[in-house]
Structure formats: structure tokens, C-alpha cells
A = this chain, B = another copy of it.
């Protein structure tokens, strides 16, 4: 009814918005995946980020690209957190629980795209963290010598998946129980 500018579709903010949008998309994806799992509508990510569909596709041409971006942040954080000499395998389990929702989405995804190099690279970095932790713990006599890095990877993977599967209000309980099991399994004999 006004004589000008009938609709204002949200001002095209120009190229400057690029990196900002990218960040918004990753954050939105983290939330959406956490709530709805990996099969949440892809378009829901754009909507939640307050960004056009097209921009989502420009930044992340496929589902894997987006998931990798999300998980990349998690791995980076993990690398940082697990660096100090005082960090333990148990810290890794704790961290896994915290990140379970995203981790699981990532794991789900990876099992579709196992051979995607982007995915493989991230997997290697994660494995590196686990490997360094394990070696350190074994040296300190806090982890059994029977353990190999694959065991640790399996443990964290299963833990994350189990948490993600669980009823939200049982997660604390489940986490405690599962960590106790792996404690026993990891202990020196």
C-alpha cells in the first residue's frame, strides 16, 4: 500500500557478508544437527542461519562439505584441549560426551562417504590426538599395554553414538555407565 519499496527482502549486504555467513551457517548446522540428527532438512540450516539457500550451496556444495566444516572446529578444539601434558584418556571421553551430538552426525556421515579425502583428513587428525594421548597414558602406567589406538577410536565412537541415541534426560546416566565400562577395559592389567 505504500508507494515505494513494497518489499525489502533483506538488503544484499554484498561480498563483505561472505565470511560472516559462513560462520553463521556452521553455527546453525551445529544446532540443527544436534536437534534433528543428520537427516534434518538441509534447508533448515540456511533458514536457521538467516541466510539464503543459494549462499548455503555456495559455501558448502554438499552435505559432506558442511559436516566437515562443523567437525573441523571440533577437532581443532580437541587438539588444543588435549595438548597439555596433564590431559588423559578420560578427558577425551568427557570431551566426547560433550560433543556427542555433533560427533555422531559426523560419524554417520563418514560411513556414507568413507573415501572422501576431506573426511579422511579429519579422521587422521582425530586419530593423531587419540594416539598421542594413549602413548602418554601408557608411559605413565595409567593405560594397559594391550590397548591400541583403534580401541580408543572405537570406544569414543561408540560412546558418542550411544549418547546421541539416548533420551536426552538419560544421557548423564548413560555417559557415566559407559565411561565406567571403558575405564575397566582401558586399565592396566
Query: Which residues of A pack against B, CB within 8 Å?
Result: 39, 107-108, 111, 114, 150-151, 154-155, 157-159, 161-162, 165-167, 174, 177-178, 180-182, 184-185, 187, 189
Copies of this protein chain in the complex = 4
With both beta carbons as reference points, the residue of chain B lying nearest to A166 in the complex is identified as B111
Residues of chain B lying within 8 A (CB to CB) of residue A165: 107-108, 111, 157, 161
Closest CB pairs A-B (n = 5): A158-B158, A184-B185, A181-B185, A185-B185, A111-B165
Provide the bound-state CA to CA distance between A31 and B95, in Å. Answer: 36
Nearest chain B CB to A119 CB, angstrom units: 13
Task: State how many angstroms separate the Cβ of A144 from the closest Cβ of chain B.
Answer: 8
Provide a sorted-by-A list of 15 A–B residue pairs whose CB atoms are within 8 angstroms.
A39-B39, A107-B165, A111-B166, A150-B177, A151-B180, A154-B178, A154-B181, A155-B181, A158-B158, A158-B159, A158-B178, A161-B161, A181-B182, A184-B185, A184-B187
